[in-house]
Structure 1
Amino acid sequence: MRIDPSTIERIRQSADIADVIGDYVSLKKKGANLWACCPFHGEKSPSFSVSPAKGIYKCFGCGKAGDSIRFIMDIEGLGYGEALRHLAKKYGIEIQETQLTDEQQLAQNERESLLIALNYAKNYYQNNLFQHDEGQSIAYPYFKERGFNDKTIRTFELGYSLDSWDAFTKEAQKNGYNLDILVKAGLTILKTNENESTYQNQKTFDRFRNRVTFPIHNVAGKVIAFGARILKNDKSQAKYLNSPETEVYHKSNVLYGIFQAKNAIRTKDVCYLVEGYTDVISLHQAGIENVVASSGTSLTIEQIRLIARFTQNITVLYDGDPAGIKASLRGMDMILEEGLNVKLVVFPEGEDPDSYVQKIGSEAFVDYIQKTASDFITFKAELFLKEAGNDPFKRAELIKDMVASISKIPDSIKRSVFFQKTANLMQIDERVLISESNKITLERGKQKEKDTQRESNRQRLQNDLPSGVTLSKPKENINFDDLPSFSEEEEFSGFPMDTPPPKTPNPVESTKSVPSGITLQERECVRLLVNHGFKDVDPVVAPGVTLMQYILSEIEGINFETPIYQRILSLCRAKFLEGIVLDTNYFISHSDNAIQQEAINLATERYAASEIWLKYEIIVPTEDDKLADLAYQNILRIKKAFNDQQMKNLIQQMATTNDAAEQTHLLSLFMEAKAIEKQIAKELGTVIGR
C-alpha cells in the first residue's frame, strides 16, 4: 500500500523538527536555532543545528541534513514509507493508503518486513505469558518471583516462548508471515539439507523455546531482537540466548532499555550503565529510569556514542565481582576517549543492582550511588593499590596504567586536573606523569601512522589484484610489534627503484576542492532563489515583483555549469512559466534527495548575531533589508563570470586559427566582451587592467 499524498502532508505539518530530533539528542537553544552534538558522527563540540522555523537540520561536521522525515530515515535506517508510518504513529495520524500494484507489493522493503515480523513475535510471546496456560503456570510466576509487577512487564513487553519445537513458526506462517523473513529476522532456524535448494521439505524450528523473552528495542521503540532466559536447570543449554545479528540488529550499536530510558537520561543528565536485563528492569520499576545495559557484550564505541546523544555523564554500576570489574575497565578508557565523564560504583560482595535495589529500596539506592561513586582514577587506585602493596614495580605499573587512561581524555583541562590528583594520590611528581603521558601520546600517534600506512599498502595491493580476488585483512590477534621491521626502501621494494611509492592521499585533499568563481556565483544565485525567491525584491520601488521574477528575467539565456544548480534553476524557470513562485519549503521538502540536501545546505545559517548585540540595541541588517542590492550584485557577478569565460575562449580560438577574417571576427567579439567587462566593473566598483 502507498500512503496518500494528503496524509504525507499532514505528517509533514505535524512532525515538529525539534520534537522529533529531541527524542534522540539533547538540544540546547543558541540564537534562533537549537544545537547538539551530531548523532551521526562522533564529535566533542556541537555542530548539529536544528532550525524550528524552517523545519530542517544540518550538521556542519559531517554534512547530514534534511527535514523530520529525512532524520528518521537516517537515524533509524528506514525507508521513506517506513519513516512516514513511524511519525504518523508518534502524532496519532491515521494513515490513508492507496493500493499498490503486484510489482510494487513484491518490492516492499525487506527491513520493514523484518521489523513487522519481530513485532508480531513480541506480541505472540507476550500473549503466551498472559493468556496461555503454560505461560501462566511457568513464566509468569518467574517474573513475579523477580519482583516485576504487571505494569513493568508490559512496559518492557516481556513474554514467553512455549516448550515446543516449532509452535511460533507454525503460527507465524499460518498468519501469512514468509518463512524467509522469519529466518532472516533470527526467529526461526532452518535445518539445512545440502540436497535441497529451497525451504521445501527442510526442517524448521523456533530459535527460542521454553524461555522468558526480553525484547530489545531501538531508540525509536521498534523491536529489533530478543534476549531469552532458560527456566530449566539444564547445563547443556546456555542460560541466555540472544538473536543473531540481522539487517536490523547489530548488538554493538544497541543498548538494552535505551528506548525506556532516553527521556530520563536527558532529564537527569546522567546515564546509569549496568550489565543485565533484570538490572535495568528492577531499577526502572523502582523509579530509577535513567538506566541501560550493554546486553551482555563488552562496551563498544557505538554504544558510548548512543549514550552521548542524551548526556555527557555515565555512572557505571558494577556487580561486586572483582574479576568482572577488572575485565570491564577497558570500557572506561573508551568512555574517556570519547570525551564523556565517567564515575564508577561497586556494590557489596554478592550484590548486583537488581538485588540491592530490592533489598534497600530506591531512595537508599540512589543515596548509596551518590556517596560511593568515584572517578576512574580513585577507583583504579583503590582497586589495585592493595594488590601492589609496597612492591615498587607493581606501583609503577599501576601509575603507568593510570597515566595511560588520563592521556586518552581529549580535554586538556580535565587531563591537568587528573594529573594533579594522581600525583597527590600516588605521591609522585606531576611533571613525571605529564612526561610519561607525552611519551604514550607520541607512541599512539606513531602506531596510528603505521596502521594507516599498512591499510594503505593493503588497499594498494588489493587494487592490483585481478577482479574477484580479495586480499584478506590481517587477523586481530597478530602482534605486529613482533614482526621484523623494514626500512623505507624495503617496505616499498615491490616498486621499481626509479618510481616513488604512491602518496597516501590526504582525506581532506581527496574529498574537497576549491570551487570556481562561476560555481560560487551560481551557488549564491540559487541560495537567493531558495531562501527569498517568493519575496518582493523591493516592496517600495517595485511592489509585487518577486525576487525570482527579477533574477530569472535578468539571467535569461544563461545556463549554469554546476549540474545541481542548473537543475534547481530549471525547476524555478519551469514552475515560473506555470505562474508558480516556489518557496523555501518546496525545496527543503523536495522528493529528490540531491535537491533537498542542497536546498537545506543553502537555507541553513551557521552563525547568528550575538544576543549581546541585541541587548545593546546594535542593529544588524538582515538579508530581507537589502534583497535588491544582493540580487543586483549577484546578477552582475554571474554575468561577469560568464563574460570572463567567454573572453578566455575567444583568446584560445584566436591563438588556434590562421584565418585572417576569422581572427578579425573573433577580435571584434573580444572587444565587445572587454567593453562589457569594463561596464560591469564600473557597476561593481572594481578596478580592472587596460
Structure 2
Amino acid sequence: MISQNTIQTVFETARVEEVIGDFVHLKRAGSNLKGLSPFADEKSPSFMVSPVKQIWKDFSSGKGGNVVTFLMEHEHFTYPEAIRYLAKKYNIEIEETEQSLEETELANEKESMYLVSEFASKYFQNVLLNTEEGKAIGLSYFKERGFTTETIKKFHLGYSPDVWDAFTSEALGKGYKLEFLDKTGLTIVKEEKQFDRFKGRVMFPIQSMSGRVLGFGGRILTNDKKAAKYLNSPESEIYHKSKILYGIYHAKQAIAKQNNCYLVEGYTDVIQFHQTGIENVVASSGTALTSEQINLVKRLTPNMTVLFDGDAAGLRASIRGIDLILEAGMNVRVCAFPDGEDPDSFAKKTPHDELVSYLENNAKDFIQFKASLLMDEAKNDPIKKADLIRDMVVSISKISDKIKREVYIQECSRIMDISEDVLFNTLAQLDKKEIQDANKKFKQEQKEKTFEVIRNETTTRLLSAEEISALLERKIIEVLILYGNKDVEFEETYLRVNEDGEEENFTEKRTLKVFEKIYMNLQEDEIEFSNPIFKNLVNQILNVYLQKGDFEKNEFLNQLDQTSEQIVIDILMNENKYELDGWLEKKQVFVKSKDDEEVLKALISETLISYREYLIQNLTKELVEGLKDENQETSLQDVMQLINDYNKLKVSISTSIGRIRTDFFK
C-alpha cells in the first residue's frame, strides 16, 4: 500500500493543468484554461481547468475533481494507480506500507486485466531481445524493417514463441489467473486445454493515451495461408479497438505542440515515422475510422492530415473517413504517396527534412484531393462528373462553419468549372433534407416522451420540503467555501422591549468573518441540517475554519469522500462556467463582483434569512398539521400562541431585508 507521505507529496507536486494537458488541448481563458470535453462529443469547449484552485470541471458531463479524480475518470485508474502514475511523471519515490490480504483481494477485474496485459508486454519483449528464437525470428524481422533497438524498446515490440502454450505456462507460473488470461484474449481456453492466441507472431502492444497496455496486434511471419496476417486482441473490458488509436501515447505531446496529427493505417507506418523524427502520427490499425478515434485527436488539435498509400483502390476506400473528420468540426488535409509507396516504405528511405518538405508540399485540402483522385475516372463522362461534384458537396455539407462552407463551395466551383449558384442550391437541398430528417427524428422522440409522461403519470409539482431544505443548505455551504474567511460588516437586528413595554426592532452593526456569522446563526437557532451529506460537510467546513481560522481548499478536498468532493468541486468551478465561451462579454452582461462587500453582505443575509424562513414555515406547517391529530397533548391555545409567535418572527425577519418573501408552501 502506498504511504500517506507519498500521497501527500504527489498532491503537493502534481499540477492539474500539466497532467490534463497530456490528454486535452487547453487554451487560456482568463485565469483558467479551457478545452473540449474528454467525456463527451462536442464542438464548443465546456471543459475548464483552474491552475489556481488545482481542480477541473466538465460542464458537459457534470464531472469534476482534482488531478487524481481526472485520471480515475478519464483513464479508469484506481486511486493507487493514479497516484503511481503521477509519482512516475514527477519522479517521486513511492514509499510502500504492507498491504493486507483483504486489500489485495479487492483488486477489481479491470485492474487484473491491466496487470496481465502489462506482464505480457514485458514477457514478449524479453523473448524478443533475450532468447535465441526471439532474436533469430522476431528481432531479425524488425531489423529488416529498419527499426533500431531504441525504437523497438520505445514501442515495447516483442515476439511470442512458436510454442502452443509458452506464454500461458509462464503467466500461470507467475501466479496470473487463467480467468484473466482468457478475458484479455491472450490465452484461448478450451474445455480440455488452453493455448496462446499469438503463437509465433511479432507483437505490437496497443497503449492507451496514458500508456496502459490495452491489447495487442500480432503479425505472423510464415506463409501459412490459413492464418490471418495480422491478429488483434478480441474486444474486452479494457480493449475497444474503435476507441483507441495506435501510437497515441507516444504522439500526444507532439500532436499538441505541432497542432496537427498525421493519420496512417498500420503499426509500422507509425513506428517508421517516429524513427524518422516525425512523432505526431497515429494509426487506425486497419479498422474503419470511427468518431471515437477522431475525438481522441480532436482533444489535442483541430487539424488532421490523412496519409494514404499510393494505391488508387486503397485511396477510394479510405476517403470515406474524411466526411467523419469534417463532421467532427476538424480541419482535414490529405496527402498521398507515390504509386507503390506507403508511409512506412517512404519514411524509411527519406531523410527527415525531405519527408517534412514532402508532407507540407503535397498535403491538399479534401476538395482538391477528391478532384485530383476522381477526375481521371470522370474525364468526359458527364454522369460521373456530376456524381463527383455531388460527392464533393456532400462532404462540404458536413462542415458546420458557414464561412468555411462558402470558401469550399467557391473552390469546388473553380476546380470543377461549375457555377456557385448550382452548388449552393445543391447544398441547400442537402441541408433541407437533413433538417427534415432531424425534425422527423425530433417529433418521434417527442411523441415517445409524451407517451412516457402519460405512462408514468408525471405532473408538474411544487418542490418538496426536503428539496427546498437541500437547496438552501447547499447555498450556505457554497457561501462558506467561497467567502468564509472574508470580513463583512453585518447589521444585526434584534427584537427588544422598550421602556414603555412595547416591542421594537433594534439594529447593531458588527464586523464578522462570514464563517463566524453563519456559525453563530446556526448555533443561535440550534439548527442542524436535515440532509445528512450536507450536515456532515458543513460541520467539516466549520471545524476547519474554527480550528485554523482559514480554509485551504485543495487540502480540504483531499480529505473528502467522493460524493462530498464532487459537491465542493461543483461549487468551486460553477462561477467560472461562463468564461468558457466569453458568454458574459458576448451578452454585454457585467456582473457586480461578490468581492464587493455590499453585494456579499446581501448574498449572505438573503441566504440565512431564506433558510430561517423555511424552518419557521416548516415548523408552522407541522403545528397546523398537528391540530388535526386527536391525540395532540398540547392545548389548542398553546399551539395557536406558538403559531402566532412564529408568524411574528417571520415578519420580523422579512422586515429586516425590507420585504415579505413568497411562501414556499401554498
TM (norm. structure 1) is: 0.83
- CA RMSD after TM alignment: 3.5
Taking only the aligned residue pairs, the percentage that are identical comes to 42
Deviation of 1:640 after TM superposition, in Å, equals 2.9
Q: Which residue of 1 aligns with 2:85?
A: 86
Deviation of 1:257 after TM superposition, in Å, equals 0.6
Structure 2 counterpart SS, 1:555:
helix
Aligned pair count? 629
Contact 2:47 2:59 in 1 (8 A): yes
Structure 2 counterpart SS, 1:164:
coil
Deviation of 1:67 after TM superposition, in Å, equals 0.4
Q: Which residue of 2 aligns with 1:600?
A: 569
1:321 maps to 2:311: yes
Contact 2:166 2:196 in 1 (8 A): yes
Contact 1:163 1:209 in 2 (8 A): yes
Counterpart amino acid of residue 652 in structure 2: Q
Q: Which residue of 2 aligns with 1:463?
A: none
Of 521, 524, 528, the residue aligned with 2:472 is: 521
Counterpart amino acid of residue 153 in structure 1: I
Q: Distance in 1 between matches of 2:160 and 2:520?
A: 70
Of 595, 605, 610, the residue aligned with 1:623 is: 595
Structure 2 counterpart SS, 1:97:
coil
Q: Which residue of 1 aligns with 2:59?
A: 60
Q: Distance in 2 between matches of 1:504 and 1:430?
A: 50
Of 404, 409, 417, the residue aligned with 2:399 is: 409
Per-residue deviation, residues 100-158 of structure 1 (Å, max 9, x unmatched): 33333222122222222211111111111211111222222211111111111111111
Of 320, 335, 343, the residue aligned with 1:345 is: 335
Q: Which residue of 2 aligns with 1:643?
A: 616
Moved more, 645-654 or 678-687: 645-654
Deviation of 1:97 after TM superposition, in Å, equals 3.1
Per-residue deviation, residues 347-392 of structure 1 (Å, max 9, x unmatched): 1111111111223322122211211211112212222222223333
Of 301, 305, 309, the residue aligned with 1:311 is: 301
Counterpart amino acid of residue 639 in structure 1: R
Moved more, 244-253 or 529-538: 529-538
Q: How does 1:136-151 map to 2 (within 5 A)?
A: 136-151=135-150
Q: Distance in 2 between matches of 1:579 and 1:591?
A: 18
Indicate how the Cα distance of structure 1 residues 401 and 564 shifts in structure 2: closer, same or farther if over 3 A, else same.
Answer: farther
Indicate how the Cα distance of structure 1 residues 685 and 625 shifts in structure 2: closer, same or farther if over 3 A, else same.
Answer: same
Q: Which residue of 2 aligns with 1:70?
A: 69
Deviation of 1:299 after TM superposition, in Å, equals 0.5
Q: How does 1:91-130 map to 2 (within 5 A)?
A: 91-130=90-129
Of 503, 519, 524, the residue aligned with 1:552 is: 519
Indicate how the Cα distance of structure 1 residues 441 and 689 shifts in structure 2: closer, same or farther if over 3 A, else same.
Answer: closer
Contact 1:16 1:52 in 2 (8 A): yes
Counterpart amino acid of residue 282 in structure 2: V
Q: Which residue of 2 aligns with 1:634?
A: 607
1:214 maps to 2:204: yes
Of 651, 654, 657, the residue aligned with 1:684 is: 657
Q: How does 1:439-478 map to 2 (within 5 A)?
A: 439-448=429-438
Q: Distance in 1 between matches of 2:305 and 2:572?
A: 40
Q: Distance in 1 between matches of 2:621 and 2:369?
A: 70
Q: Which residue of 2 aligns with 1:566?
A: 535
Q: Distance in 2 between matches of 1:353 and 1:79?
A: 38
Q: How does 1:196-595 map to 2 (within 5 A)?
A: 202-448=192-438, 501-502=451-452, 519-533=470-484, 546-556=513-523, 557-562=526-531, 564-572=533-541, 583-595=552-564
User: Structure 2: where are the runs of 5+ without partners?
Assistant: 491-508
Indicate how the Cα distance of structure 1 residues 633 and 328 shifts in structure 2: closer, same or farther if over 3 A, else same.
Answer: same
Q: Which residue of 2 aligns with 1:470?
A: none
Indicate how the Cα distance of structure 1 residues 538 and 454 shifts in structure 2: closer, same or farther if over 3 A, else same.
Answer: closer
Counterpart amino acid of residue 481 in structure 2: V
Indicate how the Cα distance of structure 1 residues 440 and 240 shifts in structure 2: closer, same or farther if over 3 A, else same.
Answer: same
Deviation of 1:338 after TM superposition, in Å, equals 0.7
Q: Distance in 2 between matches of 1:429 and 1:641?
A: 69
Deviation of 1:642 after TM superposition, in Å, equals 3.1
Deviation of 1:644 after TM superposition, in Å, equals 4.3
Structure 1 counterpart SS, 2:319:
helix
Q: Which residue of 2 aligns with 1:180?
A: 179
Deviation of 1:282 after TM superposition, in Å, equals 0.7
Contact 2:488 2:597 in 1 (8 A): no
Indicate how the Cα distance of structure 1 residues 568 and 172 shifts in structure 2: closer, same or farther if over 3 A, else same.
Answer: same
Indicate how the Cα distance of structure 1 residues 608 and 211 shifts in structure 2: closer, same or farther if over 3 A, else same.
Answer: closer
Indicate how the Cα distance of structure 1 residues 421 and 653 shifts in structure 2: closer, same or farther if over 3 A, else same.
Answer: farther
Deviation of 1:324 after TM superposition, in Å, equals 1.6
Q: Distance in 2 between matches of 1:432 and 1:211?
A: 55
Q: Distance in 2 between matches of 1:518 and 1:560?
A: 8
Q: Which residue of 2 aligns with 1:465?
A: none
Q: Distance in 2 between matches of 1:358 and 1:453?
A: 55
Indicate how the Cα distance of structure 1 residues 577 and 623 shifts in structure 2: closer, same or farther if over 3 A, else same.
Answer: closer
Q: Distance in 2 between matches of 1:132 and 1:504?
A: 70
Q: Distance in 2 between matches of 1:269 and 1:96?
A: 38
Contact 2:17 2:49 in 1 (8 A): yes
Deviation of 1:288 after TM superposition, in Å, equals 0.7
TM (norm. structure 2) is: 0.86
Structure 2 counterpart SS, 1:78:
coil
Counterpart amino acid of residue 174 in structure 1: G
Deviation of 1:619 after TM superposition, in Å, equals 12
Deviation of 1:667 after TM superposition, in Å, equals 4.5
Deviation of 1:61 after TM superposition, in Å, equals 1.9
Indicate how the Cα distance of structure 1 residues 276 and 689 shifts in structure 2: closer, same or farther if over 3 A, else same.
Answer: closer
